[in-house]
Chain A
């Protein structure tokens, strides 16, 4: 066990240093792909707190993404530090709206979170005086703006999201969340405050999704309601979680790598790429229902069993 931990630490440190040095080493396209990967890692790790650990497949996380983007563009006007604080506060406030829905289960939760996202998008599109309406908002670039700045910001957010996931996974609260996922009534019966812990994971999830929204707005310097409140900002992360393995810390990372990889190899197909890409996603999800991480751990377990029987 000790050796495995050391190996995984070394691999992690190598990966982080590679990511950190990539703006100097790699070409602009490769760096852009890594940036996209970081955005997906951030989003899906954040979604994993609620979808993976608790089992509530929220597709409303796009709301927090949009709130992050809009708080950067509209209120903070390009000031990143201000935007980070503001987005966190606004996202926590907005996740209060979700509290009555936390009791719903299964597909009805999925549906109602999509509809929250739709409702917020409609409101933002129609409150023209407040939000600029469907035309969107331009941000004047802050002084000293360049891509590597955005890249490092994305790196910090993604690492923080993964780290928080790790902390939750290894804490008492994480155990409570697992208990709620497996059997909510039983968890409540032994004294877990289910609503409190569900809300806690949702609030954490909302903060990091909002921060990724800030990163996105900082990168594009232009936002509009259709793209920033699009359901795909919670749909694609949900895909990555399911592919990578629900409720694991590394699952979102592997899932995001798979997603970006599939996207890249299907791009030469031109306009048919989305069809083939979705078909591949479905096939991966059907034949690896526990995700890549589940598949790997099961393979390791089988190997270990074989070793033990050999020794005997």
Chain B
């Protein structure tokens, strides 16, 4: 099962890169191509950090969390707002947004989400779960519009940029991507080496077996969901410094993170690699076809990969 999936992903990536490589070499110089690759990698780290929270919520805590990317945008607004009000470094404010999202998600898990999702797993009644997820998404969007308006905002941080053998790199982007990858590493170490992480991995494999060996699945699921939402707090703050965001921009990140979940699975390294590759492919498409069509790549990739995997009987 794992082999076919890996093969498929590799095939897709090879096809995409073959096309893009041919195009880029014929259109522009190699210098330009390496610049594009650099920007793609810098984007990819951020995509991975959004996707890992989404994937933890949906596969380990088993909550239909389509509102995860709206939480990301919400966190971006919190950081933006506090930055305007207090004028402290936004990297410190990310801690506050993370705390807020953590407690908010614990509350949300206790009331609507647990009740909505309990039947989704055993009886395949996903109706209430899907409705609750989109209802929460609508609520978050409405709250953001009422508090901060519908205009696109950005967290303004200026660090300048530097040259790396002729490739221009803005320092902000390097810092944000670096912190994203750092956080991913921390999550990985945590899941790999602590007792808590072991328990979470056990739940992800088989919740009932985990329960029989004495793991408190209710509390761990709640903590896992809250941690996943807390990563949204970090991701929101980092993304807000790079890209303009508006209350409706959650859907775009939902595309990206769902695609990464499909490509990378639960494994953090897989998600990171998929994120970097998707980032690079998007950067190429942006340069060659225009920025409006880059969202099409993630959506198409998701649809094709899911359909093909289904056709192979996975």
Residues of A near any B CB (own CB < 8 A): 55, 57, 100-101, 103-108, 110-112, 114-116, 118-119, 122-123, 125-126, 231, 235, 238-239, 241-242, 246, 271-272, 274-275, 278-279, 281-282, 285-286, 289
Contacts and interface: CB of A to CB of B under 8 A. Distances in A.
Nearest to A288: B128
Contacts of B112: 282, 286
B138 interface: yes
A112 B115 contact: no
Contacts of A235: 134
Nearest to A231: B251
A285 B132 contact: yes
Nearest to B134: A235
B130 A119 contact: no
| Chain A contact residues, majority secondary structure | helix
Contact of B293 (A105, A126, A282, A286): A126
Nearest to A134: B292
A103 B307 CA distance: 7
Nearest to A126: B292
A282 B132 contact: yes
A57 B126 CA distance: 8
A112 B306 contact: yes
B303 A112 contact: yes
Interface in B220-246: none
A156 to B, nearest CB: 29
Nearest to B303: A112
Contact of B142 (A111, A238, A275): A275
A104 B313 CA distance: 10
Interface string B290-304: 101101100110110
A242 to B, nearest CB: 4
Given A123-B296, A286-B115, 4 more contacts: A100-B310, A110-B66, A112-B303, A115-B302
Contacts of B176: none
B146 interface: yes
B143 interface: yes
Given A110-B126, A122-B292, A281 B135 contact: yes
Nearest to B313: A103
Interface of B: 58, 64, 66, 112, 115-116, 119, 124-132, 134-136, 138-139, 141-143, 145-146, 251, 254-255, 258, 262, 290, 292-293, 295-296, 299-300, 302-303, 306-308, 310-311
Contacts of A106: 124, 126
B310 A104 contact: yes
A100 B127 CA distance: 22
Contacts of B126: 57, 106-107, 110
B255 A122 contact: no
B149 to A, nearest CB: 11
26 contacts: A57-B130, A101-B307, A103-B307, A107-B130, A110-B66, A111-B66, A112-B307, A116-B303, A118-B255, A119-B300, A122-B296, A125-B292, A231-B251, A239-B131, A239-B135, A242-B128, A272-B142, A274-B139, A275-B139, A275-B142, A275-B146, A282-B131, A286-B115, A286-B116, A289-B125, A289-B128
A114 B133 CA distance: 14
B54 to A, nearest CB: 11
A143 B90 CA distance: 60
A104 B306 CA distance: 7
Nearest to B295: A122
A271 B292 CA distance: 30
B131 A281 contact: yes
